[in-house]
């Protein structure tokens, strides 16, 4: 399938710049640090990198509050640094995706500064403004994901403005055609530079209900968090009116029209809605996004039933689009802690990578997954995340998955910085440093590399259809079929050995080797899987 677009079946490595590598000693990672480690990333066998926001920002939400869409924040470097990064990545065969945060800006963006000054200036309607109720209270009951009302009073205008996230992140008014045009022009700026794709943050939040209708309450038994805790008041509502509005589909079509003017680029949308799988299917239909991903595998549920049910539910609805899967990112507890529940091991770490990379779709892996990093315990006095500070101690925020990458076990701050890091480097991460793992042929890192390079030679795993096989816990089994090739994939998600009877209709499986994982044994009747064992086989 050499004519497939690069992103289809690709593995993209997410880089959180603040925590990747600091080259100037200010304790925060930067673009030159990414450049310095691009050869390392390429050695992992991944296809692309996704770089979290590095744009000019007051950093209230660490870059997801953008003050200038077209410039690099001095904390991270310069536009010239980005150009060098892009050129080097392309030279060594890596595609580059960048974050685009389109639904909201920082209060420091010049658009908002102008908009808030009066009700009749040229940008007066570029943000979501509304009058107070007669009693002075907020226009409706919409809540912010970060706690409290989604409305903030602005005395200059004598009105409230909408913020679905932090108070310092006002929402743009996408009903205004000039706003949509300006946003698309900002995306065009980076496409013209030569980026290979954009990851669209909170893409279903662009439009709001024009009538500002109240969100209905959600029964307690249905308060399930996806990217937020069930005890967050945000979970107490159905968010029918402050996000995932039907008008968003028209904007996605406009965005796709823009992207179709460029050769072989991709749009990946982050989607968190009342029914994220249905929204993923809807948003990736023809003429919209190339890919979508949700928080459905970023949950605490590590069961074969949950994984199988999630993928099957999406497959039933996604008749046109292409999924992208992730089991870790910069917003959730690291997967080895979340799913390992204190039983982290090299075998489990590599099993998790193989499992997500064997599902139908593309994959995003988060920096540190290849090292088997666990969630860091960050003391309250060291917290940086406003989300964690607001909800402590029930929710400790996102700092635990954002601590610096450990590059070396014999340097200060694990080789991340020669200054004081913005977050502490956990002592337990030093033992998992890159230099130590590269010297160990049985390390998580070398297991990750082995599997990724092996996967590149398996067309069925990259592009094939998927069909699940009925199994009992803790076994997850399915086939991937492509171009006459059928690959049988079986995972034991537990640390105890299990025996599995395969359906006779599969015929005689022939074991596939070279992936580096704990391999099961098939005796002609039953498949015997060790704890965290796998079985890859070709089926005729």
Instruction: Give φ, ψ of 124 to 5 degrees.
Output: -60, -35
- Specify whether the CB–CB gap between 415 and 407 falls below 8 A: yes
Q: Model confidence over 60-81: pLDDT tens digits?
A: 999 999 999 999 999 999 999 9
Average pLDDT over residues 456-479: 97
Whole-number percent of the chain with pLDDT over 70: 100
Question: Given this model, what pLDDT does residue 28 score?
Answer: 98
Task: State the Cα–Cα distance between residues 162 and 169, nearest whole angstrom.
Answer: 9
Q: State yes or no: pLDDT of 225 exceeds 90.
A: no
Task: State the Cα–Cα distance between residues 98 and 96, nearest whole angstrom.
Answer: 7
The catalytic position among 65, 154, 171, 201 is 201
* 201 included as an active-site residue: yes
- Specify whether the CB–CB gap between 488 and 535 falls below 8 A: yes
Question: Given this model, what pLDDT does residue 289 score?
Answer: 98
Please tell me whether the peptide bond between 47 and the residue prior to it is cis, using omega within 30 degrees of 0.
no
Question: Given this model, what pLDDT does residue 81 score?
Answer: 98
Average pLDDT over residues 140-168: 97
Task: State the Cα–Cα distance between residues 357 and 11, nearest whole angstrom.
Answer: 8
The catalytic position among 154, 270, 315, 399 is 270
Nearest of 341, 327, 536 to residue 450 by alpha carbon: 536
Q: State yes or no: pLDDT of 454 exceeds 90.
A: yes
Chain centroid to CA 82? 21
Stretch among 344-358, 388-402, 454-468 having the lowest mean pLDDT: 388-402
Stretch among 67-71, 279-283, 502-506 having the lowest mean pLDDT: 502-506
Give the pLDDT band (50/70/90) at residue 507: confident
Task: State the Cα–Cα distance between residues 222 and 407, nearest whole angstrom.
Answer: 43
Q: Do the strands 95-100 and 197-200 form a parallel or antiparallel pair, or are they unpaired?
A: parallel
CB atoms within 10 A of CB 408: 15
Nearest of 85, 84, 28 to residue 59 by alpha carbon: 28
Rounded to whole angstroms, the maximal C-alpha distance in the chain is 78
Instruction: Give φ, ψ of 454 to 5 degrees.
Output: -65, -40
* 270 included as an active-site residue: yes
Please tell me whether the peptide bond between 534 and the residue prior to it is cis, using omega within 30 degrees of 0.
no
Task: State the Cα–Cα distance between residues 448 and 46, nearest whole angstrom.
Answer: 10
Distances (CA, A) of 69 to 74, 105, 182: 14, 9, 10
- Specify whether the CB–CB gap between 353 and 364 falls below 8 A: no
What's the token pair of residue 348? Answer: 């489990």
Q: Model confidence over 96-107: pLDDT tens digits?
A: 999 999 999 999
Average pLDDT over residues 76-94: 98
Task: State the Cα–Cα distance between residues 21 and 14, nearest whole angstrom.
Answer: 14
Positive or negative CA dihedral for 122, 123, 126, 132?
negative
Nearest of 413, 415, 416, 445 to residue 427 by alpha carbon: 413
Q: Do the strands 362-366 and 322-325 form a parallel or antiparallel pair, or are they unpaired?
A: parallel
Question: Given this model, what pLDDT does residue 1 score?
Answer: 53
3-class DSSP state of 362: strand
Q: Model confidence over 102-145: pLDDT tens digits?
A: 999 999 999 999 999 999 999 999 999 999 999 999 999 999 99
Average pLDDT over residues 252-265: 98
In terms of C-beta density within 10 A (0-12 exposed, 13-18 middle, 19 or more buried), how is residue 217 classed?
exposed
Q: How many helices (H) and strands (E) does the chain have?
A: 15, 21
Stretch among 218-222, 360-364, 504-508, 512-516 having the lowest mean pLDDT: 504-508
């Amino acid at each position: 399938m050499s004519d497939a677009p690069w992103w289809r079946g690709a593995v993209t490595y997410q880089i959180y710049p603040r925590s990747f590598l600091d080259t100037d000693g200010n304790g925060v990672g930067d673009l030159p640090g990414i450049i310095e480690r691009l050869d390392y990333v390429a050695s992992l066998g991944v296809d692309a990198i996704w770089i979290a926001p590095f744009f000019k920002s007051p950093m209230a939400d660490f870059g997801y509050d953008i003050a200038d869409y077209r410039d690099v924040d001095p904390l991270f470097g310069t536009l010239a640094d980005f150009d060098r990064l892009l050129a080097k990545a392309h030279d060594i065969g890596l595609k580059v995706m960048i974050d685009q945060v389109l639904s909201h800006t920082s209060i420091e963006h010049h658009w908002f500064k102008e908009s808030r000054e009066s009700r009749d200036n040229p940008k007066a309607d570029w943000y979501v403004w509304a009058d107070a109720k007669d009693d002075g209270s907020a226009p409706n009951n919409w809540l912010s994901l970060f706690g409290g009302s989604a409305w903030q009073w602005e005395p200059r205008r004598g009105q409230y403005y909408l913020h679905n996230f932090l108070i310092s992140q006002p929402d743009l008014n996408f009903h205004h055609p000039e706003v949509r045009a300006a946003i698309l022009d900002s995306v065009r700026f980076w496409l013209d530079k030569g980026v290979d794709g954009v990851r669209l943050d909170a893409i279903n939040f662009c439009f709001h209900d024009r009538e500002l209708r109240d969100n209905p309450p959600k029964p307690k038994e249905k308060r399930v968090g996806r990217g937020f805790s069930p005890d967050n008041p945000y979970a107490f509502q159905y968010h029918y009116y402050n996000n995932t509005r039907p008008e968003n589909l028209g904007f996605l079509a406009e965005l796709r029209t823009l992207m179709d003017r460029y050769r072989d680029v991709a749009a990946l949308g982050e989607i968190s809605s009342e029914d994220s799988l249905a929204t993923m299917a809807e948003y990736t239909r023809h003429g919209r996004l190339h890919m979508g991903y949700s928080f459905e595998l970023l949950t605490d549920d590590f069961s074969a039933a949950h994984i199988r049910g999630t993928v099957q539910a999406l497959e039933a609805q996604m008749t046109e689009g292409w999924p992208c899967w992730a089991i870790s990112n910069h917003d959730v507890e690291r997967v080895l802690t979340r799913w390992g529940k204190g039983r982290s091991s090299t075998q489990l770490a590599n099993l998790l990578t193989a499992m997500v990379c064997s599902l139908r779709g593309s994959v995003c892996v988060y920096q540190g997954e290849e090292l088997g990093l666990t969630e860091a315990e960050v003391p309250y006095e060291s917290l940086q995340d406003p989300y964690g500070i607001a909800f402590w101690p029930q929710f400790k925020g996102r700092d635990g998955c954002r601590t610096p990458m450990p590059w070396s076990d014999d340097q200060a701050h694990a080789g991340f910085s020669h200054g004081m890091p913005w977050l502490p480097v956990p002592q337990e991460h030093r033992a998992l440093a890159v230099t130590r793992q590269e010297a160990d042929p049985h390390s998580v890192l070398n297991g990750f590399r082995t599997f990724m390079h092996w996967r590149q030679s398996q067309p069925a795993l990259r592009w094939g259809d998927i069909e699940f096989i009925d199994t009992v816990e803790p076994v997850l089994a399915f086939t991937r079929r492509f171009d006459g090739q059928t690959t049988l994939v079986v995972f034991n998600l537990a640390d105890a050995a299990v025996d599995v009877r395969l359906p006779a209709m599969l015929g005689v499986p022939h074991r596939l080797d070279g992936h580096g994982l704990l391999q099961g044994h098939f005796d002609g009747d039953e498949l015997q899987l060790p704890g965290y064992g796998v079985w890859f086989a070709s089926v005729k």
